[in-house]
Structures are given as C-alpha cells and as structure tokens.
Amino acid sequence: MKRLTVNTFALQSLKKRKKQYAALIAGIILAMVFSSGTLFLLSSLFAGIDDLTDQAFGKETAVFYGLTEETLADGQARFHIEYAAKGEILGYLMTEEEDRGVSVAKLTPEARELTYTVVTDGDYPQNAGEIAIEEDALIRMGLNARPGDMIELTLQVQDDADYLSKTVQKSYLLTGILKDRRVNVENMRASKSPFPAAFVSETETIEPGGKALSVVYTVFSRGNSPIASSYQFYDDFCKEHGLNDQKTESVFITRDSFSLSGIGKLRQSGVLAAVLAAVFTVVSCVGIVNAFSSDLLDRKKQIGMLRALGATKSQIMRIFGREALLIALCSAPFSLLLSYFGTRLAVRLIGNGMRFLPDYGVLFGGVGVSLLCVMAASFIPLAKTARISPMQAVRDVDKTRVLRRKKLHSQKQFSVPKLIAKREAAFSPASQILVCVILAVSVSLSALGISYIAEAYDEASPYDSDYRIYRMGWEADPFVNLDVSSRGFGLTDNDLQTLTLFPYTDGIRKEQDAQAVWITEAPSDYLTMLDAGRVSFELNGDTPTFTGETWRQLLTENDGNKKDFLSAFSYKDVFSVRFSARDEDAVRQLEPFVSEGKIDLAKLNAGEEILLAAPDSVSLEARLETFPDGMRYVDFIADTGVYSLMDRERFEMFPLGTAERSCHAGDKVRVALICNDLHDSEGTPVDKRYTDCRVYEKEVTIGAILSIPPGGIWSRGDMTGITQLNFISTHAGKRAFGIENRYFQLDLKLNTPCTDEIDEQITRLISPMISGTSFNCDSQYRDAQEDRQMLAAIFTGLMSVVLLFFTVAGSMICTSLTADIRANRRGLGTLRAVGASVRELTKTYLYRLLLPFGVGVPAGAALAAAVWLAIYKFAGEKIPPLLWPTALLTLALFGVCCLNLYVRLRQLTKTSIVENIREL
Amino acid sequence: MTILECKNLTKEYYSGENVIKAVDNANLTFEQGEFTAITGPSGSGKSTLLHVLSSLENPTSGEVIYNGESLKKYNDNQLSILRRRRFGFVFQAYNLVQELTGMENILLPVMLDKKTPDEAYLEKLVEELGIGDRIGHLPSAMSGGQQQRIAIARALANKPAILFADEPTGNLDGRSGREVLALLKYVSAEFGVTLILVTHDLGVAEQADRVLTLSDGRVVRDTKGAAQ
C-alpha cells in the first residue's frame, strides 16, 4: 500500500483540484510577472535609456584639454576624479571646400571605453592612415563618403596651445562611421572646445613640428551621497586649479535632463527601484494572500474535518504549505519566460535604437523573491485557517461574532439582494476596505499618471515649427556684443532663401534681434534695478567691504561699459533692452499677454509704436561670493518673480529693494538700436567699440505692455522673458529704425509629415549654415522621437504599475466573489428554493460588486483631485486632466468582474437547486 | 379538490453508463389541506419525488400539474415566482440563509415577492412556533430545533398552498422532532395548507392522512386514513 506523506497528500490535492488551482496558478503567475517582471522591465528600460544616453554623450562627466599630469593626479588623489582616461588631439580636419571641420584624436582603449564610441557602420581604425568619423562631422565637412572610401582632408596640425600656421594634406581610409557625440555635447553646452569627432588609431603619430593636445575624459565623484551632483566636485576642482581660463578649456557634460531630474536622482540612488520593488511586492503579496485566502475559505470544511480527525495545526500548515510551494514552483518558470519575452517585446516596440540589455540578476532575483513572497503570502491565510477549531470550520461562528460586535438588527422590510450584499460587506470589512483602497490607488495613479504623461507628450513638441534654427546664448550686456552683422550673430537672407526653396518647406517664421538701449533723462528705480544684473565687481583695496548701503554708487562706478558708452554718445543715461522683430502673425499671437494698451500692427509697422514686455515689479539683491583663493565678487540679481534664480546657500545675500513697473502704455520712449558692422578687408569684424558704432535712434510710443508669466515662457517658447526688458515690433517696424541685420531665429514648417529621409536632407541643408557658429538646430522630428522613446519607457513603467494595481483589485474582487459563490452554493440553492430567481441572485452579487467600485472609484477620483490640487498649489503646475483612459480601464475592470460573475452564476444555475442545497 | 397531481412522472439519473430511475412512472393526486407522508427505504426515491413535485428538479418525463396547470409551461422565472408564492419548503438541514437573522429568513419569501409583510399573521406564526426570543439571531447562533422552527415559519410566511417537507425531523433529537412534527401538523391545519412530507420514520408517517410508500422509485402502496 502506498504510504501517505505530506507530499503525496499535497500532490493528490493538486490533481483533484486542477480547475481551482489553474485559476490560482494563473493569479500567482500574474502576480509574479507583475512584481519581478515589472522590475525586470524597468531595469531593462533604464539600462536601455542609460545606454542611449551613453551613446549620445559618453560615460564621462567632464572633458579637459591640456590638463597637466600633476593636476590630474591631485584630482584623483583628493577623490574629486574617480576615473580618468586619456587621448591626444592631433589637429583640426577640414575639406578644401569647407572651412568648417572637426578635431581629430587618438584614444587609448580605456578612453574609447569611457567615451563609449559606437561604430554604426564599418570598423574603428586599427592602423595608421585609417580614420573613423562621426556622422554629423561628415555632413559638417561636406563629405559624402562610406566606409572603405579614401578621403582627402586638410589637417591643421596641433601645437598644444593652438594650431600650426601650416596645413598638411592628408589621405585617410575611412574605416567607420561613428554615432554622433560632438554635436550632442555642444548642443547641450555651447563651447569653443576642440571636442574631437574624428578618430585615428593609436599607432598614428602627429605631424612633424606639432605637439598633441592632451584630452582627458573624467568621471567626477558624487561624494558620499549617491544623489549629490558631481558638478560641485567639478566646480571645486576647476576653481582650485584655475581651470576654465584662457589656457585650459573644459567641458562638463550634464548627460541628459532626465538624469538630473528628481526621478533621475532617485533612480541613480536606487531609491526608485527599492520603492517600486516594495510597492510591487506588497501589492502582489496582497493579491496572492487574497487568492490563497479564497482557496482556503473554499476548503475550510476540509481543514475542519482534518482537524476533527486529529491533524495538528503544524500538520495542516505542512500539508497546505507544501501545496503552496508546489504551486509557486509550477508558476516560477512561466513567470520567468513571460517576464523575459514581455520585456524583450516592450523594448522592441519602443524601438529607436534602444537595446535590450537584460539584467538577469534582477530577473532571477525578482522571481526568487516572488517565490518567497508566495510562500510568505500563503502563510498568512494558512496560519489563520489552521487556528480555527474543527467546529468553527463546520459551523460558521465568525459571522455570529461579527453580528454581535456590529449589533446588527433584523430588518422588517428589505430588498433581499441589497441586504445580503450589505451583510456580506459587514462580515468582511477588512477585505472590503483593502479592495476599496487598492481600487482607489489604481484610479488615482492611473488618472494622474496618464494626465501627466499626456501633457508631457504635448510638451514633447514645444514649437509650432518642425525645425527651429536659433542662436544659443544671449549676451545680456548690449554694451559688449555689438557685432550684429557678423556670421555668428545671425542667419542671412541667403540662408533664408535656401530654406524657402527646400521642396518640403511650407513656411518660415523669422525673428531678428538687435542690441538696444532705452534713453532716458530721468532714470527710475525700476529701470536701474532691472539693468543692474549686468554688473559685477571684485572687492579689493578701493572697495574693501560691501554692506549694500552704497549699491547705487558702486553700480555706477563699476559699470565701465555703460560709462564708456555714455561718454561716446553724450546720453545722460541709458538702460539695456532686448529688441526683437517678428512676423506679423507672431506678434498677433502675443495678444493674450497684453496687460495694458493694445497691439496695433499698422502703428508697429510704421515705427510709431512699439510693444514692451516688462515684469510687473523687480526686487534687487546683491550677492557676495568668496572664492577659495580669497577673491570676493559682488554681482546684482534682479528678481522679477519669473524664475527662481539660484541656489542661495553658497552666497552672502543683501536685499536692496523693490520697484514697481514705472512705464505704461502710451508713454513715449527714446530707443536706440546700436551696431558695429564694420569689417576689415578680409571680412573679419572690426571691434572698435563705440567709436564707430552706428546708432539708430527713434522716439516711439509704447503701444502695449505685455506681462511675463511665471516661467517666462510665452506661447510655446516663442518668447522668453527673464529679467530684461524686451521691446518687440514687426520686421517693418524695425526697418523704420533704419537698421538691417541678420536673423537670430528661423522656424521652418514642413508641408508634409517629416520622415527619416526628409530629416536627413534638411540636416544636410542646415548643417553648413550653422556649423562653427553658436547656432543650433532643433528638429522637432528628432526631439519628438527621443521624447517619445523616453515617454514610452515611462509610460510602460507607469502602465505596468497601474495595471498591477487594477489586476490585483480585479483579482481580489473576482476571487473573493468566485470563492463565495463556490462556498455558498447551499445558501444560493436555498434562496432559489424559496423563490429567488436567477436575476435576484445576480443582483445580489452585482450589489456586492458595486460596493468596492462605488466607494473605491470616487475615493480614487477624490485622491487624484487632492494630489492634483496640491501639485497645482505647491508647484504651480496645472495639468489638464485626461480621465477617459482611467474611466475606460475602470469600466474594463468592471466588465471583467461582471463577466466572471456571469460565468460563475451560470455554472451554478446550470446545476439543479437540489444539487446546490445538498452541497456540503 | 385536487391541488397537485403528477402524470407518468419519471426521474432518471446517470451513474456512469447506468441509468437509475429514482422515480418511475408515478401517477398521483394530492387534495387541498391533505397531509401526505412519503416513506420508503433509503434510496427508494422519496426525496426525489418531493423535489420533482415541488419544481426543485425537472422530471425526465411526465408532468406535474398545479391547480390544473402543467408546470412544463413555466420558465425558470415563473417557477421561482410559484415557489415563493404558493410553495413552502422545509429541509432536513434547515437551509437558512446564514447572512440573515431568523426574522429576516422568515421574511425572505415575502420580501422576494416585494409584498408588505402581514405583521399580525407573522407574529401569530412566531408565537405558535415559540421562536420569539431567537428571531434576532443569526442561524449559526441557534440550535437545530430552533433553526427548523425558523425554517417552518419561513415556509409558511407567504401563506403557501402546499408545504413540502423533506425529512424535517431527521436532524433533530426525538423530543425536538416530535415538537416540530406537531407544529407542522398544527400550522398546516390552522392555515389550511397541504402538507407533503418525506420521512423514513414510520412513527411520523402514522400521523399523516395518507401514506405513500416507495420502493425503487415506484409507489408500491398508497394508504389513506392512516392517521385515523
């Protein structure tokens, strides 16, 4: 005779209850996939995003040129620099046709690894005479070459500090095309550094007479705190060693905005992963506990019988615990496979070059933890069930206890379905509350998350145009940068013509700017304070201390540029103003920001009126910064409430006062546009400061005052106002001043949806216009692709969490109702026997279904509204709510629960009343 | 006056490939106000006959006629309404709804019928059954005898025409059983209800107006006037 052991009992039980266990195993697989699988998915997505960021920017945090061994050694010894790898810049490569080129370097294997150079086509050079070039650099140099082609280039040889005057003609075998890095780094942080974009093998030597410029790629420390920015260490290192001056350039790579955001910091620190893991585990455990509880409720009588036959508590625990282990072990391989292939599919769907970088530790570790969770979760209902006495199991005394505690009273008139549903809810308040809480969290998480991501999708296309070409950086001091006609200052009419003739161009919106001053005889505090931000000075022997009392005098004394300007033009006082000229339709779009007066295009075009964008008030502060070498600088901060300007901790601050806007619509103002468009015989601008400046002066009326909203962004990035005053007019209005200059911003709109091919064509068209300048080109197509990728990853993560919550809520509702129907067959049979129709039975369960939805969904909506209001109140962020996906999810969940109910009740009513009544 | 009859009533069950005739071609009539006991050895089909007569189960063939109307014409919903209005049931295992108190269980058929309870009638019923002090409790807090009394009150709450009782004293001790039986007889006589009762206890059967004896699904004896 076969011996009956705990294992054989558990196996027999599993075999006999295949159907019930199939549902339980499916639930557990889902819970495991959602907990371990979601973590695996998130870890893979984050790894993929990190990989993309590394490909775009490299793994380094800063790049130094000409850094001495001693300085590097000091940085490493003091743990500022965690890791460094070296390369050498051999020169500057150009073609004969184009004077724009890129630096060429050779890297050590360590530097190649750190810079994460990715070869998209061909191979990295191995021998002398071979070269690999970044894709954008090829376009920049006007080269249409593929790997295997010989290319002829002109090399300006490096001589450490600069380039040798002679050039060398070089012939290289192009072995590979590299993924862009230079353009990404420079777009992010405009720099005149020789960031290399062409690479030769290590065996390459520098041309005779030259001296290679060292390039050191470094990873800066984050200190003891994993979330601290490495910028602090970089900044300290640079200041201590006097870097960033004329002799040594450096580039600090911020990598990407995501990594600097709150989420990014949390992710870096592992807090996000830990929190997500904890949430997934807890929620999954709740689902598993519920699944096991329902199963054990169903088997309460069997346990009671076993106890009556003499089984001890520990034997009951062992029998059912072994079943739980077998179930968990059966579920593990399925959840492993589902997690792996699900994640693989998700990464493929996100696409855009994201690689599937699985972390098997997370996958197997997650499944291992899930197994433990299943065991732990099964233990809770098991321990509870094993505690009950045999008679308690047979006679349902729990209900009597609850009844006594709740002091329920007999109803004289009642709806049978409603009363039974209400009573059931009263008998199991904890599980009802739990379901309501999970449902509420699901609803609020879904409503908020989807609304925020939808808004982010909208914001992923910040401009009205498909391409925006714009000058990066703005010289706030109009008394310094007067060279408005230089190539660096703007794009020409020829550039505009080239773009207009592009077959896919639908229209181009253009914007010009000019350095301008507001001439006044009676300077107001408002103008003085707004203009003070240009000035900084060192505290020295003449001015040993700063208390703030003499700020007006110090401001005047130390604004050397303005003093020179005033003496050159005999004005009593002037204040810097930004002047921009726009297309008429762009000016019309400013209508919503008018706070005084009105926009009259005819008067603007005639040069009679002008628009003034000005903050309502300004508060001025002086800040004193003391450097490690003892030098102390004072500068002025004009705060207009538009931006929170800085981290104040490092400075000593002196509040100097506040002034309200002193100008109004209808005021007449004298405005002068100033420029120096003189060039020498070779076309190089001649900087003669003010002596040869042309001044285009005009008296105009302020037609309208435009307010600057918090954040300073007007109409999707069409205008940014920070602390400066902004005069705005039309192009015709600007011409009325008599000045013609270049475009600082062109917005190009395509007449067809953009494709990879069009994007490549337009990149080739625009690249030569902006190469070697501080201009940048934003492709909405590329930006949207990148943003979509990031948002898809975030959305996938969010939806995993939301679905986990919805699934757990649904599983709790369905399993508890299913278990109740199974366990209560006799009660339902009795109801049918005494005259309850199937419709009434269905209504009973529908009421029970409506209870968690009726409480959980409004509670979730209220929670979401509260969080939304809190975010609006404290962060000022007003996100348009997008609720239909959540409503759809909730309806879908309700539908699934109804379907489950229908199937279970149909099963029940298919059997005869007598069979139900006799079920014991 | 005939209130219930069955013609050629057969109920078959399948046990693997074997067909078991639980009720075999029964032709019976039941008069209004009559107390009929159905008896026979275990497995003779007495409970099945009761279940088919009371529409709790469908017959394999033949028909049940209530008040001159064949129940074959009734759909599931109409049968539910018939059960709640015209039939009352008392089961061996009491079969009370565990979530409802004694009083709520009694009111169940009335409430399912969406009627206003006849309070005087119900009070009398509760008093006659002697359960006034237990009706606020849940079934799990009652003894078997008390539960069965509640079940009888529930069965009579809607003033049914026929009361079907399946071994109503089977789970009770001798004294409680006798009390319950006496109550059944009394209330059916008091309220003019036809009582059809299944029992294997000859002592119980002796008290009926008529005794039907079943063997292998067939009515082998139909004795009237046993009680007399």
pLDDT digit string (tens) for A158-190? 887 777 777 888 899 999 999 888 877 776 555
Q: Which residues of B touch A396 (CB under 8 A)?
A: 98, 140
Chain B positions touching A826 (Cβ under 8 A) are 95
A325-360 residue pLDDT tens: 887 888 888 888 888 888 888 778 766 667 888 888
Interface test with A, best of B60, B94, B104 (most A CBs within 10 A): B104
The backbone region for A593, taken as left when phi is positive above 0, alpha when psi lies in -120 to 50, beta otherwise, is alpha
pLDDT of residue A887: 92
> In degrees rounded to 5, what are phi and psi of residue A117?
-70, 120
Q: Above pLDDT 70, what percent of chain A?
A: 80
pLDDT bin (cut points 50, 70, 90) of residue A920 is: very low
**Nearest CB to B80; choose among A396, A413, A835:** A835
Question: Given pLDDT bands bounded at 50, 70 and 90, which one contains residue A258?
Answer: very low
pLDDT tens per residue, range B159-174:
899 999 988 887 777 7
* Predicted pLDDT at A779: 78
A640: its two tokens: 């207009």
The reported pLDDT for the residue numbered A773 is 65
Residue A710 has pLDDT above 70, yes or no: no
Range of the domain at B106: 2-224
Q: In chain A, pLDDT over 90 holds for what percent of residues?
A: 11
Share above pLDDT 90 across residues of chain B, in percent, rounded to a whole number: 31
At B82-121, the pLDDT tens digits run 998 999 988 888 888 888 889 999 998 888 888 888 888 8
Between residues B164 and A739, which one has the greater pLDDT?
B164
Please list every residue in chain A whose beta carbon sits closer than 8 Å to the beta carbon of residue B77. 837-839
pLDDT for A142: 73
More confident site: A201 or A799 = A201
CB-hemisphere CA count at 13 Å for B107?
A: 23
The encoded tokens of residue A826 equal 């006799």
Rounded average pLDDT over A437-454: 87
Report the distance separating Cα A34 and Cα A807, nearest Å. 9
Highest mean pLDDT among A557-561, A858-862, B89-93, B168-172: A858-862
Q: In a 3-state reduction of DSSP, which class is residue B180?
A: helix
pTM of the model: 0.60
Query: So what's the pLDDT on residue A705?
Result: 92
Q: What's the rounded mean pLDDT across residues A388-394?
A: 61
Nearest by CB to B89, which of A419, A424, A833? A833
Mean pLDDT for A539-549 is 79
What average pLDDT score do residues A61-82 get?
83
Q: Position of tokens 């002596």?
A: A691
In 3D, which of A816, A738, A752, A742 has the Cα closest to residue A781? A752
More confident residue, A792 or A75: A75
> pLDDT (tens digit, 9 = 90+) per residue, B46-78?
989 999 999 888 899 999 999 999 999 888 888
Q: Which long-range contacts (CB under 8 A, 24 or more apart) does B146-151 make?
A: B146/B102, B147/B94, B147/B96, B148/B90, B148/B94, B148/B172, B148/B176, B148/B180, B149/B180, B149/B183, B150/B94, B150/B96, B150/B102, B150/B105, B150/B106, B151/B90, B151/B91, B151/B94, B151/B95, B151/B96, B151/B105
Q: Look at A43-47, A478-482, A912-916, B108-112 and tell me which has the smallest mean pLDDT.
A: A478-482
Interface test with A, best of B86, B106, B111 (most A CBs within 10 A): B111
A910 interfaces chain B, CB cutoff of 8 Å = no
Which of A401, A402, A405, A416 should be substituted to probe chain B, the one whose Cβ sees the most B Cβ atoms within 10 Å? Answer: A416
What's the mean per-residue pLDDT of chain A?
A: 78
- Does A406 have pLDDT greater than 90? no
Is the pLDDT at A655 greater than 80, yes or no? yes
Q: Per the CB < 8 Å rule, is A830 touching B136? A: no
Q: Look at residue A645 in the predicted model and tell me its pLDDT.
A: 44
Q: Nearest by CB to B104, which of A395, A414, A829?
A: A414
Residue A899 CB-density burial (10 A; 0-12 exposed, 13-18 middle, 19+ buried): exposed
How many domains are contained in chain B?
A: 1
Distance from CA of A810 to the nearest CA of B (A): 24
Please give, rounded to a whole number of angstroms, the shortest distance from the CA of A875 to a CA of chain B.
50
